[in-house]
Structure 1
Amino acid sequence: MGITNELWRRGKRARTTNVSLPMRLTPLGLALCAVWAAGPVQAQQAPSGASATAATLPSIAVSAVPDATTEDSGSYVARSATIAGKVPVPLKETPASVSVLTRERMNDQDMTTIQEALRYVTGVTSVDYGDGSAYFRARGSQLGVEFDGVPLVSGLQYQQQFDLAMYDRIEVLRGPAGVMAGMGEPGGTVNLVRKRPQDQFHVSTETQIGSFGSVRQMIDVTGPLNKDGTVRGRAVLVGSDGLQSTQGTRDKEVMAYGAIDWDITPRTTLSLSAAYQVNPVSGLDYGAPGVEDSNGNFIGRVPSSYSQNFSPSWNSSYTSMEEVNGNLVHKFENGWQSNTTLFYRHELLKSTYAYSGPGATSDNLAYFADQRQRNTYDWFGADTNVSGPIQLFGQTHTLTVGANYSVMSDTERTGAIWSGQYFDLPYNLFDANSVPSVNVPFSTDADMVSGANNRIVQYGFYAQARIHLAKPLTLVLGGREAFLQERSQTILPSVTDWTTEAQLNHRFLPSAGLVWDVTPWLTAYASYAKFITAQTQTTYLNSALPPRTGEQYEAGVKTSFLGGRMSATAAVFRINDNNRAITDPFHDTGSIPGGRARDEGFELELAGQPLPNWNVYAGYTYLNEQFEDDTPDLTDGTDPKHLFKLWTNYKFSEGLLNKFSIGGGMLAQTQISRGVTQGGYAIFNAQIGYQFNKHVEASLQLNNIFNRDYYIRPPGNFFSVFGDKRNVMLTVRSDF
């Protein structure tokens, strides 16, 4: 029996600073003062005719709100993001496709996991794996990850993540992000940005009760820790316990997050944070494989309800995570800023389970394997950069220069028993509890045992310049000198020496973009970006394969209207991907770098507030994946050609419905296939809420209104994951 490879890997609020305004007390001066106090503008030189004897205004206090923070904004639209350039850049001035999932939308849609969040981001597919982890794709490839701008290798796919209660926003850049993030697949990058301590005392709670039998409680406390507010703190606690849509699966969680910001000087801030989370899961289910005929061809799915658990009740897993983060920011008097961040995360995964496959018979029989895993992961990341303005040729340009380093070390141990005394016959998939629990040792007593130490190191030096060629034109040039090494050591069934799986040195990753401000509210752009991805597959002679290489071409328009309350984007893209590893057609073992793919399509996104009490988000993606020589192993099978997402919420402020709110949305996609085909489907959700007073509000959300049966991950040789059945979620929030 074969074993699938997948089982073998596993803002601050406004603060006051004193700014001296050398402005004359004239009507023009008073007007400029009022505008400046209302928001940041570019200072203009005073007219030469201004009175020289007018009184000079004293210093005044000016509030400066960090541009990218979304907490307390009350909106689904973000005006800037840090993912494309390390510093906040207006989305309209970014020559790339960037979506920002704001804190307001996460709350309105009751999102608590990264799977739920990315499922409602334009162009992203979020595919649950069955054990609480997931994998994420965009534009035909996997996504990478950053935490507060620090890129981590292998930190997202198939990995547990923290509860979303600790994050302010989720930024998603679609397409290659090699300049800032390094080598990786061209799908894009996710940046998870933590909540920061606030300078006013604030406490909020969130209580959720679900119809599957789940309960979740969150409390968030923040405020100043000393009299003058130079030290601020924040603590977020989450506890949850409940059954899932799949019968018999119970998922628990405890999460704690704490953060401190310390203004060492008015221009220097040190931020420290730490988080801890545990996730025990019982009755976890990897689903049923597809039904095969005698020739191994898929002929359908195992007929059942879409909540059937196909695994024994003794299946279980336990995950714990700890992380710490430190950030030091200094703002120089000339407008430049330095930013240094250090990040460390540790994860432990223990699991014991049985799963079925490969394939199932037409009478619902399948072989089972008992498997045991114990994996530990350690990530360390560091990023340091300086950014600031440069005056040249009568224009103000922006330069960012920096370096980052990321290392992932893991130890994986896996054992499996699938034959012999207990597993010489297939079992009925509808009687999985008859599969015995066998003590699987990490030794040669198991039918298969594997253990390895792995270490991936990636680092590089990067620079990005925003060059203002003329008033409406900005040229964005970026480059990175990249380095990567991947090594491994077998520790089971025997210990071997360390070997180098992949090593790439002095690889240059360029990017270029041109931004044209057609009007004050409309921007057009075009961009180019190159990517490189190391490959660990080998030829039949055990020689290393060359890296995957390629480039993306993208063009689009972005607009901001209704006073900045609404934003809309439209983009077309083409990604050329070369040298993907495919099975050697002339030898029984090994791979060749023969795969070529072209992923192209277009995206549309709309977000914001058409009216002060109305928030709306909509995103559509068309993706066409083309493979040279019809090489089917280039695709995962879970990338739909058409993908549409919608969410809206309206709060009544007068009339009979005063204090009520209504909302709803949908997710629709065309068919996908991993052997068994999942047809196109649409899921509809609805919500009604009521605000009892300025401190307490409640909402009732009905998910999957029409109880649509569907797979998030359709069956293949192994595994499948159902989408949630119709369910109700009651959420009560307080805010003091």
Structure 2
Amino acid sequence: MFILNVNGKENTIKPIVRAIQLALFSVWAVNHVVYADTASASLSEDSVQLPTITLYANKEEGYKANKLSLGKLEQSIKENPQSVSVITAKRIEDSGWATVDQAISQTTGMTVQSSGNVNATYYSRGFEVAVQKDGMNSGYASGAEREIDSLAMYEQIEIQRGAAGLLTGAGQPGGVINLVRKKPLAEDQINVALKAGSWSTWGATFDISNTFLEDNRLRSRFVADYENKDYFYDVAENENLALYGIVEYDLLPSTTLTFGATYDRREAIPEITGVPRNADGSDSKIDKTKYLGAAWNRWEIDSHSLFAGIEHRFNEDWSFKINGQYENRILNYQRAFYDGNNLNLDTHVFDQLTGYFSGDMKIEDYGFDAALNGQFKAFGRSHDVVLGYNMQRLEEPRPWLMLDPIKIPAVSLEDFDPYNVYRPDMPHVPTTTQRETTQKAFYAMTRLNPIEPLHVVIGARLGHWKFVNRTISTGAKTSAYEDRNVLTPYGGIVYELTDQLSVYASYADTFKVQTNYYTLEGDPLDPAVGANYELGMKQELWNGKAMITAALFRIDEDNRALAVPDTELKCPAVSGQCYANAGKVRSQGFETEFTGELLDNLHLTAGYTFNKTEYLNDIKFQSGDTYSPFTPKHIFKLWGSYTLPMYDQRLTLGGGVSLQSETKNIAQNKAKEQIDIVQSGYGLWNAFANYKVSDQINVSVNVNNIFDKTYYKKLGSLGSGNYYGDPRSFMLTLRAKY
């Protein structure tokens, strides 16, 4: 029996080692059964030799993806009974994106809340979205304290909107993003890209794939990506280096080993506070080129990861996979910005800065996933099944301190000089506390095919979530929350009306831990449960060259922590506020997307989302009030590229637009009055041109925000947290392939 203990501190380094040990044992066991007699005799005439199966990367040549790696069952987009979008390699190249954040912001139904140039959080349907890498939960997540991932190491990005608890475990019901790493190619290839653009941006990418040994049994791929850039505001700077390598080796004809590693280094002057609003919530129209912090601010992050896997194919129907990964991020920052609480909102005058600094904040993430996939026959038909177990452990120390206020002569924001700020002593910050989060789960899913056009998908996850906050010097727990045996169900029905058209209905769950809240009886609250209901259709067009999808959806998050009135300082467990599992919010709407080749050489992706979010039961808000005010009610995103028939089809032109309706944030002034901070609806237009100089070389130019629209990419409070979006910019890229 294989037992893995991840609760003890001493075992935090073991999951990947244990996973690899189990994988190698499995290979040995199967190999022993198949080849046990080869030492003493040759294989009999009745013996079966498994065929050699070599796996290669599959680069999608258009905007429509033919394969989907997201999920526990092998499936196409058409077979998945939820809303799914895929950003292919061609779409990434045409758009000229450099980071994951840029790609997500241009995807159907997605909202990116970006705080300056150092972090961003992804939302769908009013809820936060989880992040995976090759199907495994990543401590990367969205939000702060992470690297801004370079797109150079990913082949494509898969987004499933709506609850995905079976895939991710604990979390919100917004969905899941799967970052698919590049794999070795079937032939030796070298790709080089050089770029230069606005705000002194320049960079280079090298992507090399090689094959070795007979039958290409050993394959490798290496990517190096470097970018140095300033920003549209003063005192800006950002330097990124990303390295990625992967090796695949066919240990046996039916067994493949994978090992890889990444390294990211980012040095930036962070823009972390944004700008204020006026006292009445209206736009302050502060000069967007102003930097309102100290010129000595720094944000440095080193990120490392290791990942390994083994896949054994017993036969054409059954396979066993184990994947393990280890990630760590070391973050060091120092930052000081105008004090929003010290700011006069009428005159925009202030006389002190405040901020934080840190020691080496090392965030570590360990995890593995083991799954048995196969097909079985029943009632004369073939059915699919997957059984698995996964684990993730995240350790987050908190070595940071708040700066004492830095006094300066009274000055207006417009006249503030970032270089005229005293830099206080910043001693080493000892790491005193650490947060540890562990979740483990068994999961199972089956796709039943009772009759030819009908497919029934049923699955469940039985999870265990544990959080501990401890003092590092003593190991003593200062707080701990735990939820055991949380069942997360999933179900869907897909009915194929024709070979190209299918309709579906699905139900999916998530759960969010709330054991840090207590009832009147002193018991921890049950998890909040997010349930996603969806009805939709998926139609393939023109022999699979394009696809159109449409869906009606509703997400109810129920059992949310709701404060019980008149119980302040009365809760038995914490001598504080008591809560009940009574809060509820809802998100519902309609979504449609077209992706693929509309005409010969005309590739297009277009998506529209209508989304309404509301409180159904809450203490602070009335029933019907907007739950997620930063989520636009209407979102439309369009992008296309067309290769002209003249000039020997060397010239490709394209572009698109992102349109969204009004958004807002709800703030309070000093008199505790509610103030609405509103961002009017707006559109951003982008375009590109690509010229194929030869079969190996092409040059492209991208123009973003063509009409130089001034807008806010995130709204905050009256005093701070309102961030300008990027003005018009240009990028010239030279690509060569050999």
TM-score tier after normalising by the smaller chain length: 0.7 to 0.9
Select between 223-232 and 576-585 the one with higher mean Cα deviation.
Answer: 576-585
Q: Which amino acid letter does the alignment assign opposite residue 362 of structure 1?
A: D
Deviations 1:55-101 (A, max 9, x none): xxxx9x999877xx652x3111112312122x430111111111111
Moved more, 620-629 or 313-322: 620-629
Q: Could you tell me which of 446, 452, 457 is aligned with 1:471?
A: 452
Q: How do residues 304-703 of structure 1 correspond to structure 2 at under 5 angstroms? A: 304-358=286-340, 360=343, 361-366=345-350, 367-374=352-359, 375-419=361-405, 422-423=406-407, 427-430=411-414, 431-433=416-418, 434-441=420-427, 452-490=433-471, 497-535=476-514, 537-538=516-517, 544-581=524-561, 586=566, 587=568, 590=577, 592-593=579-580, 594-629=582-617, 631=620, 635=627, 637-652=629-644, 654-656=645-647, 658-674=649-665, 675=667, 676-703=677-704
Query: RMSD in angstroms over aligned alpha carbons?
Result: 2.6
More displaced, 369-378 or 316-325?
Answer: 369-378
Given that 2:147 and 2:264 are in contact with CA atoms closer than 8 Å, whether structure 1 keeps it comes out as no
Contact 2:642 2:652 in 1 (8 A): yes
Once the two structures are TM-superposed, the CA of residue 544 in structure 1 deviates from its matched residue by 4.2
Alignment CA distance shift 1:317-1:461 (3 Å):
same
Amino acid corresponding to residue 205 of structure 1 in structure 2: V
Report the CA distance shift for 1:387/1:237 in structure 2 as closer, same or farther (over 3 A).
Answer: same
1:422-442 deviations in Å (ceiling 9; x for gaps) = 339865323052443222457
Q: Which moved more, 1:531-540 or 1:116-125?
A: 531-540
Q: Is the 8 A contact 1:557 1:570 kept in 2?
A: yes
1:720 to 722, 727, 732: 722
**1:612 positional shift:** 3.5
Q: Which residue of 2 aligns with 1:47?
A: none
Of 124, 127, 152, 2:110 maps to: 124
CA distance in 1, matches of 2:299, 2:626: 31
Matched, 1:730 2:732: yes
SS of 2:64's equivalent in the other structure is coil
Q: Contact (CA 8 Å) 2:53, 2:253: kept in 1 or not?
A: no
Count of residue pairs brought into register by the alignment: 658
> Secondary structure at the residue paired with 1:81?
coil
CA shift, 1:354, in A, is: 1.0
For 2:227 and 2:265, locate their aligned partners in 1 and report how far apart those are by CA, in whole Å.
11
CA–CA separation in structure 2 for the residues paired with 1:576 and 1:187? 11
Aligned in 2, Cα 1:686/1:583: closer, same or farther, shift over 3 Å?
A: farther
The alpha carbon displacement at 1:287 in A equals 1.3
CA distance in 2, matches of 1:228, 1:128: 47
Tell me the CA shift for residue 247 of structure 1.
2.6
The Cα of 1:725 is off from its aligned counterpart by 0.5
CA distance in 2, matches of 1:686, 1:536: 49
Superposition deviation, residue 539 in structure 1: 5.4
The superposition leaves residues 655-691 of structure 1 with CA deviations (integer Å, 9 ceiling, x where unpaired) of 2574111000111111222242111110001111210
SS of the residue aligned with 2:91?
A: helix
Equivalence for 1:3: none
Amino acid paired to 2:89: R
Alpha-carbon spacing, 1:358–1:662, altered in 2? closer, same or farther (3 Å): same
**Counterpart in the other structure of 1:242:** 229
Distance 2:131 2:486 in 1: 21
CA drift of 1:155 comes to 3.0
Query: In 2 relative to 1, CA 65–519 (structure 1 residues): closer, same or farther, beyond 3 Å?
Result: farther
Q: Structure 1 residues 564 and 456, CA, compared in 2 at 3 Å: closer, same or farther?
A: same
**Cα shift readout 1:462-516 (whole Å, capped 9, x = no counterpart):** 011000021111100001111100111256xx97821443211011111110000
Quick one: distance in 2 between partners of 1:300 and 1:533?
A: 35
Where do 1:267-282 residues align within 5 Å?
267-282=254-269
- Aligned residue for 2:29? none
User: For residue 79 of structure 1, what is the amino acid of its counterpart?
Assistant: N
- CA change 1:597–1:308 in 2 (3 A) is same
Q: Is the 8 A contact 1:131 1:317 kept in 2?
A: no
Which stretch shifts more, 619-628 or 152-161?
152-161
For residue 21 of structure 2, what is the aligned residue in structure 1? none
Q: Match of 2:549, SS?
A: strand
Tell me the secondary structure at the aligned position of residue 92 of structure 1. Answer: helix
Contact 2:116 2:270 in 1 (8 A): no
Distance in 2 (CA, whole Å) between partners of 1:428 and 1:544 is: 49
Instruction: Give deviations 1:584-614, integer Å, cap 9, x for gaps.
Output: 6644874735531011111111111123422
| Counterparts of 1:160 and 1:189, CA distance in 2 | 18
Higher mean alpha-carbon deviation, 481-490 vs 148-157, is at 148-157
Task: Spell out the pairing of 1:38-187 with structure 2 (5 A cutoff).
Answer: 71=59, 73-85=60-72, 87-152=73-138, 155-158=141-144, 159-187=146-174
Q: Does the Cα contact within 8 Å between 1:283 and 1:313 map onto a contact in 2?
A: no
Please report how far the alpha carbon of residue 309 of structure 1 lies from its aligned counterpart in structure 2 after TM superposition.
1.9
When normalised by structure 2's length, the TM-score is 0.84
When residues 229 and 713 of structure 1 are mapped into structure 2, their CA distance, relative to the original with a 3 A threshold, is same
CA contact under 8 A between 1:328 and 1:341: conserved in structure 2? yes
In the aligned structure 2, how far is the partner of 1:442 from the partner of 1:546? 40
SS in 1 for 2:295: coil
Question: What amino acid sits opposite 2:298 in the alignment?
Answer: S
Shift in CA distance, 304/585, structure 1 to aligned 2, threshold 3 Å? farther
Equivalent-residue separation in structure 2 for 1:526 and 1:596 (angstroms): 23
Q: CA separation in 1, counterparts of 2:208 and 2:135?
A: 24
Distance 1:687 1:153 in 2: 34
Structure 2, unmatched stretches of 5+, are 1-48, 570-575, 668-676
Match in the other structure for 1:229: 216
**Cα shift at 1:200:** 0.8
Contact 2:71 2:135 in 1 (8 A): no
* More displaced 10-residue stretch of structure 1: 524-533 or 670-679: 670-679
CA distance in 1 between counterparts of 2:245 and 2:266 reads 19
Distance in 2 separating the partners of 1:450 and 1:579:
36
Closer, same or farther in 2 for the Cα pair 1:426/1:413, shift >3 Å?
Answer: farther
Identity %: 26
| TM-score normalised by length of structure 1 | 0.85
Q: 2:485 and 2:455 mapped to 1: Cα distance?
A: 29
Query: Compared with structure 1, are the counterparts of its residues 656 and 81 closer, same or farther at alpha carbon in structure 2 (3 Å cutoff)?
Result: closer
Equivalent position SS for 1:516:
strand
Q: Does the 8 Å contact 2:115/2:274 carry over to 1?
A: no
Label 1:320 to 1:150 Cα distance change in 2 as closer, same or farther (>3 A): same
The answer for unaligned runs of 5 or more in structure 1 is: 1-58, 293-297, 444-448
Q: Determine the structure 2 residue equivalent to 1:15.
A: none
What letter matches 2:355 in structure 1? D
Deviation at residue 129 of structure 1 after TM alignment: 1.8
Distance 1:70 1:425, change over 3 A: farther
The answer as to whether partners of 2:154 and 2:179 remain within 8 angstroms in 1 is yes
Deviation sequence 1:223-260 (CA, Å, 0-9, x none): 11334310011110111111112332110011111110
Q: 1:634 to 1:369 in 2, by over 3 A?
A: farther
Task: Determine helix, strand or coil for the equivalent of 1:118.
Answer: helix
